[in-house]
């Protein structure tokens, strides 16, 4: 009778199957997002579904300017190590993370979307949120961006610049979960913590009793 495989070897083989099961289960239904029902001084923010990951576009403090933010694995996005081993390693254990940023210009977001963002976009979800909440989120991301300038790298393939993000990247803390957290900071209701980039927009809940 052959010897039993070492426990560590069994775990190495089991992890890919476990990840696959988790991804399949999470892909059964979209993550639903709903803006607040009543918004004073609303502003539009835009969730971009890129197929496997997501990014978020917020209005800048400057007129006719937008800022697109994303979060991801440093090795994948900045070092461009997109092989299977690197991708699997980033999913299974905490790895250095990156905050991505792209400045967009133009008063009409539809035109900005089609002329200045050339990475694939599967779907765009636009939500009305409180201006103060969107500004607070943007200011926090900008503060992090400025604080980490020593780590800045340009990534033309993604049309973004990246700096270090302090929260490690894993399957359980990926770009889609980070975008969900950002939405919640703007009073957007998110049905669950997503793993895959699959979203559905719901109407705001009625204020009527």
Q: Are 185 and 35 in contact (CB under 8 A)?
A: no
- pLDDT for res 87: 53
Cα angle, residue 123 at apex, residues 44 and 201 outer, rounded to 5°: 60
**Residue 82 within any structural domain of the chain:** yes
**Residue 22 within any structural domain of the chain:** no
**Residue 207 within any structural domain of the chain:** no
Q: What is the pLDDT of residues 126-184, one digit of tens each?
A: 999 999 999 999 999 999 999 999 999 999 888 899 999 999 998 888 999 999 999 99
Q: What is the pLDDT of residues 33-85, one digit of tens each?
A: 999 999 999 999 999 999 989 999 999 999 999 999 999 999 888 887 655 55
Q: Is the pTM of this model over 0.75?
A: yes
The number of distinct structural domains making up the chain is: 1
**Residue 47 within any structural domain of the chain:** yes
- pLDDT for res 206: 59
For 138, the domain range is: 31-201
**Residue 119 within any structural domain of the chain:** yes
């Amino acid at each position: 009778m052959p010897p039993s495989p070492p426990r560590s070897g069994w775990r190495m083989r089991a992890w890919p199957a476990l990840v696959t099961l988790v991804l399949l289960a999470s892909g059964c239904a979209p993550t639903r997002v709903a803006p607040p029902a009543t918004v004073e001084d609303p502003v539009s923010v835009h969730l971009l579904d890129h197929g496997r990951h997501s990014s978020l576009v917020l209005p800048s403090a400057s007129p006719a300017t937008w800022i697109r933010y994303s979060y991801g694995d440093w090795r994948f996005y900045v070092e461009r190590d997109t092989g299977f081993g690197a991708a699997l390693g980033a999913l299974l254990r905490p790895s250095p993370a990156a905050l991505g940023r792209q400045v967009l210009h133009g008063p009409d977001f539809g035109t900005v979307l089609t002329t200045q963002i050339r990475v694939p976009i599967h779907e765009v979800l636009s939500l009305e949120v409180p201006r103060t909440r969107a500004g607070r989120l943007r200011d926090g991301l900008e503060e992090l961006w400025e604080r980490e300038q020593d780590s800045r790298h340009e990534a033309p393939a993604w049309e973004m610049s990246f700096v270090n993000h302090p929260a490690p990247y894993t399957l359980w803390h990926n770009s889609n979960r980070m975008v969900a957290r950002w939405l919640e900071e703007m009073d957007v209701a998110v049905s669950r913590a997503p793993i895959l980039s699959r979203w559905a927009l719901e109407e705001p809940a009625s204020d009527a009793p």
